[in-house]
Amino acid sequence: MNRRSFLRGAAGAGLALGAGLPAVRLRPAASPAGPSPSQVEARYYVKLPDREIECRLCPRSCRLGDKERGYCGVRENQGGAYYTLVYGKACTLNVDPIEKKPFFHVLPGTTALSMATAGCNVNCKFCQNWEISQVRPEQVDHFHLSPEAAAAKAVSSGCPSIAYTYSEPIVFFEYMYDTARQARSRGVRSLVVTGGYVNPGPLADLLGVVDAVKVDLKGFSEGFYKAYVRGALGPVLETVRAVAASKVWLEVVYLVIPTLNDRPEDLRAMARWLHDTAGPDVPVHFSRFHPMYLMKNLPPTPVSTLEAARETALAQGLRFVYIGNVPGHEAESTVCPGCRQTVIRRLGYAVDTSRLKKGQCASCGTAIPGIWA
Amino acid sequence: MASAGGRRGFDRARQKGHHGSAMGRPRVVVVKSSAVWTPAGTLDPAVLARMFARGLADLTGERDSAQAAAAIFRPGERVGIKVNTIGGRAISTRPEVARALAAWIAGGGTAGRDILVWDRTSRELRDAGYAISTGRSDVRVFGTDAGGAGYENSLTDHLDVGSLFSRILTEFVDASVSLAILKDHGLAGLTAGMKNYFGAIHNPNKYHDDGCDPFVAQVFDAPPVKSRHRLTVVDALTVQFHRGPSYHARWAAKFGGLIFSRDPVAADHAGWAVLERLRRDAGLPTLEAEGREPSYLRTAERMGLGTSAAEVVETVVGAGP
């Protein structure tokens, strides 16, 4: 059937002429911004009979028939082969302070070339970047940026690192992996900002090419993850455990949401688990929630709640516990666990002063763990 | 050859309830025709037209097309026909069926320019055999991705659903018909009229957990859909009765039917019954036995969106006028 035949049929049925509905135009087939998705075969899937596939990238294990997409919205079965639709299709590219990620123990005071594609493998009701994370690649403007070009862009922008952030980088795994390899060859580090919902195999491969991982631990109960994240806590904890056991630097962020994940007993259990699993030196950031996306009915987190959470974590033996999204708060700064002097004073995303000398406190010589040069 | 035969349970109701029912009981009309297929395997437009005329007459109790249409649409309303074209040419709402419905609506007095056939993307429509038309003069056919259309800027936050709805649904039309395709669905059990509206939101991939339950019902219950939905027509000419929603020829049957109802739950229940009939004939277990019965229909019924206990009328349309 073609346009002419459809119209002829409709007209033959007595359809009237005139102007009623609003004017629309078709998008061009291709443009520099590139509404057309990429077609690079995905890794981590198995082919099944009858052109079905099963994705093995994340714990969802999406089983998909021909023409279907996974939960992430950016990986598609096309005739029995699985493709990533976002390879080289960045929708966001910024030069950000590394403290914004936040990484507080990685190259403080530097900038990170920060990039993202569309898509995410969970659906947090409090997502701060839902306009890119909860959409399909066709629904956002994006541009072509090859892994080589991204690495070169970091160098030309004076960024010693690339951060894969904003949305969920696990869903653009192939793009991130290849970019990290290109970056490493140019002396640029790779930082992953993730919810940690990934299978162990892909994670192990990723840890071979990146330098630091920040895991957003969104709560500490399966009930919270099911109701508000649409995921599961168990695999995320396994990710934290695996990163901690690797040579890759780990930091953890916990967004404290009033009444939902701020129970003192949960925070205490989480801090104890982190201490026992990742050790006392893993930096933990308690971040302030702001009403967003599908969770506009709750107020911002009281600063006192964040301070209480921090005290709880310190009491469990964690040595570097920060408060985030409260610009100017004293708990943005790094304090030496040896002499209690401030080693790195931060104001918002800026480093005000640093008294760190070759990874040690300038006052007492205590080693401060992290990536400092 | 007489066009009517095997029709049962029909009464010329003069009192119609919200779902176009007699005496308040919702009705589903299943119109079948083996003559709808030509020897060449194409669809016979004349038979299709009669199937629509018969089905909608039986549904509304009005023999006259204008009166039948008036029982469903208000004068001057712009009507959107939401088709399901994700399955490509093999297993999508057929363009011939959309055209026949558009013609029937137009025959009832709606101007062609006020009828819009749409889905998620123009590419999927095109791949399913539709001719894209964005002109102002006649029935238009395009996807939400067409420039000037797109999704709403503000989220609709309804129960467990948070989505951007297509502006085609929320701004371009006043009344909506779900013109769905009947398919088995590996996760949901069934895709038919209600789940068709997943194609009206920007993030359907987020709503396939737990057999799409309660999400199918909740998307339907959201104001953009619920306030506009007037009619479900399920294209059951070819039915994917197993291993859907993708097309597999060995599990696709030429059922040769169209299902009509103003009750969205009842329409899908009738589709489910067809699916089970075809599965049984093929020696397959029921969806329930496979642990994937469409539980979202129970949820929809609990939410008051329709009933599983509708009056079902089956009609056969022959080859002759």
String of DSSP letters for B261-276? ES-HHHHHHHHHHHHH
| Cα(B136)–Cα(B146) distance, integer angstroms | 14
Note the pLDDT of residue A23.
58
Q: What is the pLDDT of residue B3?
A: 36
- Mean pLDDT within B132-154: 92
Residues 6+ apart with CB under 8 A from B277: none
DSSP-derived 3-state class of residue B116: strand
The residue of chain B with its CA nearest to that of A229 is B206
Burial of A113 (0-12, 13-18, 19+ CB in 10 A): buried
Residue bearing tokens 């279907």: A68
pLDDT at B255 over 80: yes
Please indicate whether, in this complex, the C-beta atoms of A3 and B131 are within 8 angstroms of each other.
yes
- Is B107's CB within 8 Å of A14's CB? yes
What letter does residue A103 receive in the DSSP assignment?
-
How near does any CA of chain B get to the CA of A204, in Å?
A: 27
Measure Cα distances from A313 to A220, A288, B192 in Å. Answer: 14, 16, 51
Say if the Cβ atoms of B136 and A21 lie within 8 Å. Answer: yes
- The conformation of residue A100, written as its DSSP 8-state character, comes to G
Mutation target for B interface from A2, A5, A26: give the one with most B CBs within 10 A.
Answer: A26
The b-or-e profile of A245-282 (16+ CB within 10 A means b, else e) is ebebbbbbbbbbbeebbbeeebbbebbbbbbeebeebb
Contacts of A139 in chain B (CB under 8 A): 151, 202
In this complex, the residue of A4, A15, A27 whose CB is nearest that of residue B145 is A27
Residues of CATH 3.20.20.70 domain(s) within chain A? 21-33+87-326
CB A171 within 8 A of CB A60: no
Nearest-Cα residue of chain A relative to residue B202 = A135
A35 neighbourhood in chain B, CB within 8 Å = 145
Q: Where are the alpha helices (DSSP H) in A194-330?
A: 200-207, 222-224, 233-245, 264-278, 303-315
Q: What is the C-alpha end-to-end distance of chain B, expressed in Å?
A: 8
Question: Using 50, 70 and 90 to split pLDDT, how confident is the model at B118?
Answer: very high
Q: What is the DSSP letter of A179?
A: H
ipTM given for this complex: 0.87
Residues of A in contact with B205 (CB under 8 A): 69-73, 136
Of B99, B151, B172, the CB nearest to A6: B99
A10 with B138: Cβ contact below 8 A: yes
The pLDDT score that the predictor gives to residue B137 is 78
What average pLDDT does chain B have? 92
Please list every residue in chain B whose beta carbon sits closer than 8 Å to the beta carbon of residue A72. 205
Domain ranges of chain B: 42-305
Quick one: pLDDT at residue A39?
82
User: What gap in Å lies between CA A360 and CA A368, rounded to an integer?
Assistant: 5
Q: Which pLDDT value is given to residue B115?
A: 97
Tell me whether residue B31 is exposed, middle or buried, using C-beta atoms within 10 angstroms of its C-beta: 0 to 12, 13 to 18, 19 or more. Answer: buried
**Do residues A298 and A308 lie in contact, with contact meaning Cβ atoms separated by under 8 Å?**
no
Using alpha carbons, select from B152, B271, B269 the residue that is nearest to residue B222: B152
- pLDDT at res. A246: 98
Measured in angstroms, the CA of B169 and the nearest CA of chain A are apart by 12
What is the secondary structure of A44-106 as a DSSP string?
A: SEEEETTTEEEE-SSTT--EE-TT-B-TTSSEEEETTEEEES-TTEESEEEEEEGGGTT-SSB
Task: Fill in the DSSP letter of residue B35.
Answer: G
B110: tokens are: 């709606």
**CA nearest to A341, candidates A322, A373, A365, A307:** A365
What pLDDT does residue A25 have?
A: 56
Question: What 3-state class would DSSP assign to A119?
Answer: coil
Q: Is the pLDDT of residue B203 over 70?
A: yes
DSSP letter, residue A258: T
From the list B86, B133, B147, the residue facing A25 with the nearest CB is: B147
Q: How many CB pairs under 8 A join A and B?
A: 165
For residues B251-265, average pLDDT? 98
Minimal Cβ distance to B162: which of A7, A15, A293: A293
Exposure of B237 in the CB half-sphere (CA atoms within 13 A): 27
Which pLDDT score, from 0 to 100, does residue B7 have?
37
Q: Which of B137, B186, B206 sits opposite A17 (nearest CB)?
A: B137
Question: Least CA distance to B154: which residue of chain A?
Answer: A293
CATH number for the B42-305 domain, one of 3.40.190.10, 3.30.930.10, 3.40.50.11440, 1.10.260.40? 3.40.50.11440
Among candidates B106, B146, B172 on the partner chain, residue whose Cβ is nearest the Cβ of A26: B146
SS3 category, A94:
strand
**Are the C-beta atoms of residues A26 and B146 closer than 8 Å to each other?**
yes
Q: Do A67 and B244 touch (CB under 8 A)?
A: no
Q: Would the CB atoms of A7 and B134 count as touching at under 8 Å?
A: no
Q: What is the DSSP letter of A299?
A: P
pLDDT of res. A27? 46
- pLDDT (tens digit per residue) in B293-314: 999 999 999 999 999 999 999 9
Could you give the 3-state DSSP secondary structure of residue A171?
helix
Residue A31: the pLDDT is: 36
The predicted structure's pLDDT at residue A357: 95
For residue B72, give both structure tokens.
């469903």
Q: What's phi and psi for B211, nearest 5 deg?
A: 65, 30
A33 Cα to chain B: minimum distance (Å): 15
* Residues of chain A neighbouring B202 (CB-CB closer than 8 A): 134-136, 139
Q: Which residues contact A263 (CB under 8 A, 6 or more apart)?
A: none
Only one residue has tokens 């987020």, namely B206
Q: Are the C-beta atoms of residues A102 and A132 closer than 8 Å to each other?
A: no
By CA distance, what is B157's nearest residue in A? A294
pLDDT for the residue numbered B2: 34
CB contact under 8 A, B148 and A24: yes
Distance, in angstroms, between A72 CA and closest chain B CA?
Answer: 7
Helix intervals (H) in B27-129? 45-60, 65-70, 95-107, 122-127
**For chain A (length 373 residues), average pLDDT per consecutive 10?**
40 35 48 58 96 97 95 96 96 96 97 97 96 94 94 97 98 98 98 98 98 98 97 98 98 98 97 98 98 96 98 98 96 97 95 95 97 96
CATH class of this structure's domain A21-33+87-326: alpha beta
Interchain CB distance below 8 Å, A19 and B116? no
